[in-house]
């Protein structure tokens, strides 16, 4: 278990949480991208690979061991109970991976854990503070459509529906970062960075 301050960052798709995490990284803070690590673990974690094969079949992987994303997407598309089952397999393995990673970051004043489904997976309980990045829904849709040219607005809204409503995340957050293009993001991050560094200094971590 890491002894330094652990900070979680989440936000709905298109909110800009990855941008915020890049700013923290530029300040020298280690950032654990749970969503990217999950994709890696789904092909490299032997336990998880076997669990996926048992639950979804050997077709979940190609002959070269790569993840058959098309097959898995078809398995869980419009089937919330199957998607939930996949998440139940992946999230605990990501949690263990995160703890191993965090325990190796003792020299940092604090660490960041970034995840889209932080609250949905109960991962907020594994960190000391939670930041929610928020933006108006229309702006989030616009950002995703500009970024992912192959997505439709209906697909983006479907993703919205699989995530907790932003207002629920905001209620549970310790800190908020507004990325609505009316406020500068960097000063908000710098303010939190200074606060977390001071907290670490006075806690003796």
Q: What is the dihedral of CA 68, 74, 77, 82, to 10 degrees?
A: -70
Residues 162 and 92 both lie in one domain: no
Domain count, the chain: 2
Residue 2 has pLDDT above 70, yes or no: no
Residues 58 and 148 both lie in one domain: no
Least confident of 76-80, 108-112, 137-141: 76-80
Which domain-ending residue is among 104, 120, 141? Answer: 104
Find out whether 94 and 34 touch, Cβ atoms under 8 Å.
yes
> Encoding tokens for residue 92?
């605990």
Residues 41 and 90 both lie in one domain: yes
Residues 115 and 26 both lie in one domain: yes
Residues 130 and 200 both lie in one domain: yes
Outline where 27-184 has alpha helix (H): 34-44, 46-56, 69-76, 80-103, 137-147, 153-162, 166-172
pTM: 0.88
Residue 205 has pLDDT above 60, yes or no: no
Residues 192 and 157 both lie in one domain: yes
For 11-25, the pLDDT digits (tens) are: 988 999 999 999 999
Residues 90 and 120 both lie in one domain: no
Whole-number pLDDT of residue 204: 47
Q: What is the dihedral of CA 74, 84, 120, 184, to 10 degrees?
A: -10
Q: Which residues of 97-113 are buried (b: 16+ CB within 10 A; e: fewer)?
A: bbeeebeebeebbbbbb
Which domain-ending residue is among 104, 125, 152? Answer: 104
For 67-106, the pLDDT digits (tens) are: 999 999 888 877 889 988 999 999 999 999 999 999 999 8
For 29-62, the pLDDT digits (tens) are: 999 999 999 999 999 999 999 999 999 999 999 9
Find out whether 76 and 87 touch, Cβ atoms under 8 Å.
no
Cα maximum dimension of the chain = 53
Which residue's structure tokens are 């003796």?
A: 204
Whole-number pLDDT of residue 202: 53
Residues 98 and 143 both lie in one domain: no
Mean pLDDT over 177-204 rounds to 87
Residues 123 and 188 both lie in one domain: yes
% of the chain surpassing 70 pLDDT: 96
Q: Write out the residue range of the structural domain in which residue 138 sits.
A: 1-30+111-205
Residues 59 and 147 both lie in one domain: no
167 burial (CB, 10 Å; 0-12 / 13-18 / 19+) is: exposed
% of the chain surpassing 90 pLDDT: 71
Residues 90 and 43 both lie in one domain: yes
Residue 174 has pLDDT above 80, yes or no: yes
What is the domain-level CATH number for residue 62? 3.40.50.300
Find out whether 110 and 7 touch, Cβ atoms under 8 Å.
yes
Which domain-ending residue is among 104, 131, 153? Answer: 104
Residues 119 and 81 both lie in one domain: no
Question: What is the C-alpha to C-alpha distance for residues 8 and 123, in angstroms, rounded to an integer?
Answer: 8
Find out whether 118 and 8 touch, Cβ atoms under 8 Å.
yes
Whole-number pLDDT of residue 1: 47
Residue 108 has pLDDT above 50, yes or no: yes
């Amino acid at each position: 278990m890491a002894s330094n301050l652990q900070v979680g960052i989440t936000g709905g798709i298109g909110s800009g949480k990855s941008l915020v995490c890049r700013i923290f990284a530029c300040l020298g803070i280690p950032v654990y991208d749970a969503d990217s690590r999950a994709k890696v673990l789904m092909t490299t974690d032997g336990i998880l690979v076997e669990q996926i094969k048992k639950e979804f079949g050997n077709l979940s992987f190609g002959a070269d061991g790569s993840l058959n994303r098309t097959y898995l997407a078809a398995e869980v598309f419009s089937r919330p109970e199957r998607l939930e089952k996949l998440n139940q397999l992946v999230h605990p393995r990501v949690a263990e991976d995160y703890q191993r990673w965090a325990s190796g970051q003792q020299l940092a004043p604090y660490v960041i854990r970034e995840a889209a489904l932080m609250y949905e997976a109960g991962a907020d309980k594994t960190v000391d503070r939670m930041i929610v990045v928020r933006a108006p829904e229309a702006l989030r849709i616009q950002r995703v459509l500009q970024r992912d040219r192959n997505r439709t607005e209906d697909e983006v809204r479907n993703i919205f529906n699989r995530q907790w409503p932003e207002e629920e995340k905001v209620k549970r957050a310790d800190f908020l970062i507004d990325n609505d293009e009316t406020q500068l993001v960097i000063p908000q991050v710098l303010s939190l960075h200074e606060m977390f560094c001071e907290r670490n200094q006075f806690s003796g971590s």
